Structure 1
Amino acid sequence: MAEQNMEAKLKNQLKQEKIQLWNPPYTDDNNQPGQQHMQELAERYAPLLCLPVQEVGGALEAIRVQAVNRGKGNKMFRETNVATLELLLPRHCRKDPKTKNRLKTRLDVLVQEVVDRIGEEYGLKYIKLILNGKTLCVDGSEDTVPFLEIGDQSGNPLKIPHKLKKALILAMGFHEKGRSLMKKKQFDNALCHLLQADQLFSKVGSTLLNSVDNFAVLQLDIVWCYQALEALSCLDDGKSRLQRAEDCFLQCYGEQKQRLLMIKGNTGREEVLFLRLYLLQSLLSYIEGNDDQAQRQLSKVESLYSRLCPDSEKMAQLMALGFTEREARLGLRACQGDLQEAAIHICNQRQEREELKQRERQKRSKRMEDISTLTEMGYSRRDAARALHLADGDMNKAYEILQDSSQVAQATNNNTEGVVDPEKVEQLLYLGFERGVSEAALRLTGGDVQSATQLLLDNQGVLSPELLSVSPPSTSSSSSPSSEEPSTSSNSTADNELVNEVLEDISRHEEDYLDLTLEEESELIATMKSYLSRGPSHAV
């Protein structure tokens, strides 16, 4: 980082003095350095940076070479339409971290052709090509996307239009998977998932994104991956992402976090997000050569860190009371380190979560009662479940749908043998659902793709045993609720195992994104302090 800091300061000074290192007298006709003039420049700038002349001279030469190469690349592109791309490869593929890898290619070729060339040259099997924070190519063997319930900051389900709901749930699925990979330090793979989430969030619209903090947290996670991967070439993209995150936090939480205080009763847990925001802003300011701004942001970070770093003794006391490590950490932050208040807060949180689960259980129970009521009227459980789904749980509307005999008959005829259209299954697989539950949803909805999609979204991609246990369509439209038992078939078991495999890395705790141990942050804080305390390196 110190090298980037010094180069940034030198570039600013060169720009102010309108010095072009790629032209004479600093570069001769053979693109070699003008030794005398470069030496004079180094001797003049060294005192301004409070650094040795030799070190400044090396940095100036690096800047000169970059400018010369860029000039060559621009000239080649103008004359031949062949561009020079600078590649940021995974760490295990970098032979020399200081040597930049470049690829010459025309820009009117297929992205897959570029991917194939990179794969062959560097021995990479799976590649995602990212340009300026946008994924250009996605490998065909994409990870399956878990589907999550969308709730507000109090945990209550949100009513969202169908089109927005699909994009939002997909985005949240990619984000959660990316976060789980970040915890495993798999930052390359995590970044790919996070950028895909970012592209999906862009389809949702600013109004909704400004009402929840997911989008802001995603921007922080992307920039955190940049710094973990030492992807300094993504500096401009990172800076704009941090600004978007800060703007979104202000919209979502309020200027003084008053909205957050009203919703959650405290702001302590969310402070870790601002700690990470200020820390990343400090890092980018330092890399840009703005030491003063970097120091100001770092001071804010250290102040937050002193308040948010968990007290090990208090953590132990809360855990001795039977609370989890996560509960203890979040509870202490929410209550500004007050042990007694934290214990009360955690108990209240547990009660609120239990009440929410109880409401969800009651909702599911009501649905099953409604299905049983409709089956007692002579309709099959399959048709009853489908009608309630189409009616959004309204019994009267569901009954009206079931009275339309032609609609029910058509649904039954379309699915006489319980066989579903493979093309419709593929459409659901493309949306990220598992094959087993996709086929089950299509059977339940008479082969209607849109209804099957909504059914899966409403059930977070997991169909309950009660829904999976419906008998295959037959000529009889009556069914006795007392004879219906939850399915124990191998198919439903396999469905559940597949879904569980997808979800195993994703936290079920609604505040997992706030549960930062601050270990990584502590390391970066120490690094920043060491760089900023290296002496009076004033900005030139």
Structure 2
Amino acid sequence: MNAGLREEDILFQVREKLNKEKIKLWLEPYYNPMNGVADQEEQALQQLCEQLSPQLNIDPLLCITALRNLQNNALELLKSNKVFKETGLACLRVRISGQVPTLLKVNISLSDSTTEFLKEIAKETGISHERIKLISQGRVLLPDESLVSQGIKNNSLLMAVILAVNKEELQESEKRFKTLESTKKDVQFLAGRSNANNEYYFQVENQAGEALNLPFHERKALVTAMALHEKGRAALKNGDYALALVLFLEADKEYSE
């Protein structure tokens, strides 16, 4: 398996497990607001790793790395919330597709247009902004519209796809966009439906197999993320690494909302 995709897969599995068990890595016993991650907090993380690693069938070293990454991400989100309140500048995270996905962070006003945002990304990557397409909520952002008018918020996670120069690769990129849009639309439709007995078609269960009573929007986002992730794994098995990456990143974004 591609190393970058393997990392995405593990992060997703660990995050999914933490969400189901309502484990918050930015709170005690895993993080102390006064001391950060000291010996006691590190020991708690190690114990959590020992618990999750066999349950998820993940190598302990990869599991603890995922836990630390997820903890750092959570702490950075809290920090960016404070900056947003004080300055009005939003911190937007952009996953740039490639063999090894790159995470870029850009501070920008949400009243700016997509094109202005693309130019900031171009400065960081050295890639012409005209070759970059941004995807959020399964849709490509419109160039002349403001970010806020397209539902972008502080800490939003977007996916950037670099368009190929030749025609064949461009057609493949467009095909992946359509597949993502169609898949997400179908999944969200089913995730929000229930049968005659008022039971949801998709249930979220904890380790004991008990259905979790989650708020509607939280449950819908979680189910959508899980379904997109499974679609990504199926694409991975079929050797369609580009589509798998698109689905993995969109699933990751659903978890971040």
Q: TM-score, with normalisation over the residues of structure 2?
A: 0.54
The answer (yes or no) to whether the contact 1:111–1:136 under 8 Å persists in 2 is yes
Decide whether aligned partners of structure 1 residues 129 and 49 sit closer, same or farther in structure 2, where only a CA change above 3 A counts. Answer: closer
Q: Which one-letter code corresponds to 1:120 in the other structure?
A: K
Could you say which residue in structure 1 is the equivalent of 2:239? Answer: 523
Could you say which residue in structure 1 is the equivalent of 2:21? Answer: 17
Decide whether aligned partners of structure 1 residues 243 and 115 sit closer, same or farther in structure 2, where only a CA change above 3 A counts. Answer: same
Could you say which residue in structure 2 is the equivalent of 1:116? Answer: 119
Q: Which one-letter code corresponds to 1:53 in the other structure?
A: P
Shift of 1:102: 0.9
Decide whether aligned partners of structure 1 residues 65 and 99 sit closer, same or farther in structure 2, where only a CA change above 3 A counts. Answer: farther
Q: Secondary structure at the match of 1:61?
A: helix
1:54 maps to 2:61: yes
Deviation readout 1:88-138 (Å, 9 max, x if unpaired): 3364xx9xx354111111112344432332223322234245241232217
Could you say which residue in structure 1 is the equivalent of 2:170? Answer: 186
Q: Secondary structure at the match of 2:26?
A: coil
Q: Which one-letter code corresponds to 1:25 in the other structure?
A: P
Q: Secondary structure at the match of 2:49?
A: helix
Match of 2:71 among 49, 64, 70: 64
CA distance in 2, matches of 1:71, 1:238: 33
Decide whether aligned partners of structure 1 residues 75 and 239 sit closer, same or farther in structure 2, where only a CA change above 3 A counts. Answer: farther
Could you say which residue in structure 1 is the equivalent of 2:248? Answer: none
Q: TM-score, with normalisation over the residues of structure 1?
A: 0.28
Shift of 1:282: 7.9
Could you say which residue in structure 2 is the equivalent of 1:107? Answer: 110
Deviation readout 1:256-303 (Å, 9 max, x if unpaired): xxxxxxxxxxxxxxxxxxxxxxxxx9873165xxxxxx7xxx6xx9xx
Q: Which has the higher contact order (CA 8 A, sep 6+)?
A: 2
Match of 1:240 among 184, 203, 207: 184
Shift of 1:27: 1.9
List gaps (5 residues or longer) in structure 1. 139-177, 195-217, 227-236, 247-280, 288-293, 302-519, 529-540
Quote the sequence identity (%).
Answer: 20
Shift of 1:19: 1.6
The size of the alignment, in residue pairs, is: 177
- Any residues of structure 2 matched to 1:76-475 within 5 Å, and which? 76-89=83-96, 91=98, 97=100, 99-127=102-130, 128-132=132-136, 133-137=139-143, 181=167, 184-186=168-170, 191=173, 194=174, 221-222=176-177, 239-243=183-187, 284-285=229-230
CA distance in 2, matches of 1:285, 1:242: 14
Could you say which residue in structure 1 is the equivalent of 2:158? Answer: none
Q: Which one-letter code corresponds to 1:222 in the other structure?
A: F
Q: Which one-letter code corresponds to 1:47 in the other structure?
A: P
Larger proportion of strand: 2
CA distance in 2, matches of 1:73, 1:239: 31
Match of 1:8 among 7, 12, 19: 12
Q: Secondary structure at the match of 2:108?
A: strand
The answer (yes or no) to whether the contact 1:129–1:137 under 8 Å persists in 2 is no
Deviation readout 1:57-81 (Å, 9 max, x if unpaired): 1111111111111222222222222
List gaps (5 residues or longer) in structure 2. 145-163, 191-225, 245-257
Could you say which residue in structure 2 is the equivalent of 1:37? Answer: 44
Decide whether aligned partners of structure 1 residues 98 and 137 sit closer, same or farther in structure 2, where only a CA change above 3 A counts. Answer: closer
Larger proportion of helix: 1
